[in-house]
Structure 1
Amino acid sequence: MFWQFQRKSPMKNTHPDVRGGDRLDWNLLRTFLVIVQERSISGAAAKLHLTQSAVSQALKRLEEQLGRRLVERHNQAFTVTNAGEEVCRAAEAIYGNVAQLLTDVSQTEVEATGRIHLLVASRIHSQVYDNFWARFHQAYPRIEVQMDVLPSSEIVTLMQQRAATAGIALCRQMPKRLENKVFLQQRYALFCGRNHALFGRQDLRIEDLMGENFVSFASDALGDSLSPLTIFRDQRGFSGRVVATSTQHDEVKRLLIAGFGIGCLPEHSVRRDLAEGRLWRLPPGEGVCSVDLHLLWHRDAPRSPAETAFLTHFRDYIDGFTMAERLASDNVPPR
């Protein structure tokens, strides 16, 4: 895919003139977007599964074709220039428009069916959520659904690019262009598994946990959506290492049960594991922190009738339930 850009002024007098119809490879723009998002060449290379040299060359080619310096790198400092910010905004808009175009084209054959694309965090435990999908399919049987499970940080990034109808994710700092509605308020607490030395002990105090190693969500280790968990450890003075991480709820739980360490999980998501003796609740009794799970949608994204129906129906449906009811995993009748 290629896009044409008009050069404003050259980076050097010898720079080739791009006004003559030179075509700009979209892959260069996509690579630049990831560089900006990751704030480093190495981070972008890891995200794109490319070498750092390939990413650096892509950035160099884009700067040469546009005739502008897009980023400044000095030692450890990484700064996006004004031109780079402008290119980033334009690339995000192009990416969103292309994603919407593909959605629109896929719906032109049979307009009545429609398609929605939802990005969701893993393991949403909610009978209300399950009931919603049953009701929605009954009301709109011809709407098709594509649902992708991703880490919350990736969902927020993709929603900023208007790459999906909506997202359900953790989001500590809400980007300006995203609208949101709190779907679930999850209370996190500390747990250990049945293979851990602390399992089954009822005389524990939080002081007894200070040297224990941790199993953590990857976003916690990166200071991302779950960074309140990091803050809790630091404020309480925990000295144990983070010995295992995952972006997935089930894998964090698996490692806890295996005895790798102690760790935080949403209380409502592990009730059965507690009852069946796979996990053990640890101090403090009040839990660690509350983290909100948000429904996200882009303020400026054009929406098809199917997408509008989903957003309207979902917001209206969850408004009929309290937060406690939304967290229940069973015995919540549909409404």
Structure 2
Amino acid sequence: MSLSRLDDSERLARELDWNLLRTFIAIVQEGGITAAADRLLLKQPSVSNALKRLETRLGKRLIDRGPSHFRVTDAGQSLYREALEIHGTIARLTVEIRDIEDEVRGHVNIRVASHVVFPPLDETLRDFSHRHPRVTFDMTVATSADVAASVLEKKAGLGICLVHRKWPTLSYTHLFREHFAFFCGPTHRFFGRRDLTEADLDGEPSVAFDTDSLQDALRPVAILRTRLNLDDTIRGTSSHLEEVKRLIVAGVGIGPLPIHAVARDIEDGLLWQLPPYEDPTPIDIFLVTNPASRLNRAEKGLIEMLTQKTSALPPAKRVYPPQEAEIGA
């Protein structure tokens, strides 16, 4: 590298306002200036000016935008990946400092999809918290995409979620396979009927998870929805299992739920399973971690314990409800 280019790099590191990178990350993730401004609680001109300042400082066009289009340039994509690393590293500095001051106590930040019902996870939290009473936990429910993004950005030490597309810089460990079926609530005309066929669901109003689409994590469920020819208008959506279940029980529409996660509701007469009864839709759940994250001792220990408890189970014991077929993870 020439001396002049080295001087330019040092000058950039010395003079660059890190808040510009934070703003740029929000612009890319939100897909626009206005949405980014809303997220950052700033005015739209402030965000637009920040982007211009960053582009001027780097001498590169980062966003190609106009009245009807928004595209992150190749230079912008490269900067976005690096900015995520920088932002995450800065955010983890407090973790590093806290561990130096008190090596015994740690905080575990977990992101998890809403319908994760996995006994080894509960056992891990129980055993780990009893063994390390000074460890604290923060469990945040989010969509699977947001779970992975939080781990990528180092906002969370680990995530547990569905996976549609894998980030090449993250590590994925298969935990278990669950199976989805469609259900109705007690006031629905199908409730209690055992003579139903798939044809009976043709044109039926429904509710859905936010990720229930051909382009997202619940793609297999969306394919089944299409096969059943349900009404095109989805009457209610949520990213949380409890709220999707609430919509189904209330009679807003039929909808998909993981069978084992609602077993108690079925027993209590709140839900009734609908066709197809054979070959329910399989969905795999993964533990997501970031090898580049500087994890504290509590995070490392929890991940290790969960991994050990999971790997100790034979594959057939990690399928819910129990199935005869092998896991295809």
Structure 1: which amino acid aligns with 2:286? H
Partner of 1:157: 149
Equivalent of 2:185, from 193, 200, 208? Answer: 193
Q: Is 2:123 the partner of 1:134? A: no
Alignment of 1:294-309 (within 5 A): 294-309=286-301
Comparing 39-48 with 216-225, greater Cα deviation is found at 39-48
* Contact 1:210 1:237 survives alignment (8 Å): yes
Comparing 111-120 with 123-132, greater Cα deviation is found at 123-132
Describe the shift of the 1:286–1:42 C-alpha distance in structure 2 as closer, same or farther (beyond 3 A): farther
SS at match of 1:224: coil
Deviations along 1:282-309, one digit per CA (max 9) or x if unpaired, are 0001255211111010122223332222
Deviations along 1:125-171, one digit per CA (max 9) or x if unpaired, are 23332222222223333333222222211111111112221111111
Identity of aligned residues (%): 36
Q: Using the alignment, how far apart are the partners of 2:33 and 2:139 within structure 1?
A: 30
Describe the shift of the 1:47–1:292 C-alpha distance in structure 2 as closer, same or farther (beyond 3 A): farther
For structure 1, which runs of at least 5 residues remain unmatched after alignment? 1-5, 10-17, 330-335
Q: Using the alignment, how far apart are the partners of 2:180 and 2:314 within structure 1?
A: 19
* Contact 1:268 1:328 survives alignment (8 Å): yes
* Contact 1:232 1:288 survives alignment (8 Å): no
* Contact 1:185 1:323 survives alignment (8 Å): no
Structure 2: which amino acid aligns with 1:163? K
* Contact 1:24 1:65 survives alignment (8 Å): no
Alignment of 1:1-335 (within 5 A): 22-26=15-19, 28-41=20-33, 44-45=36-37, 47-48=39-40, 55-73=47-65, 76-221=68-213, 223-286=215-278, 288-322=280-314, 325-326=317-318
Describe the shift of the 1:129–1:324 C-alpha distance in structure 2 as closer, same or farther (beyond 3 A): farther
Shift of 1:202: 1.6
Cα RMSD, aligned residues only: 2.7
Shift of 1:221: 4.7
Q: Using the alignment, how far apart are the partners of 1:178 and 1:92 within structure 2?
A: 13
Shift of 1:81: 1.9
* Contact 1:192 1:257 survives alignment (8 Å): yes
For structure 2, which runs of at least 5 residues remain unmatched after alignment? 1-5, 322-329
Q: Using the alignment, how far apart are the partners of 1:197 and 1:145 within structure 2?
A: 43
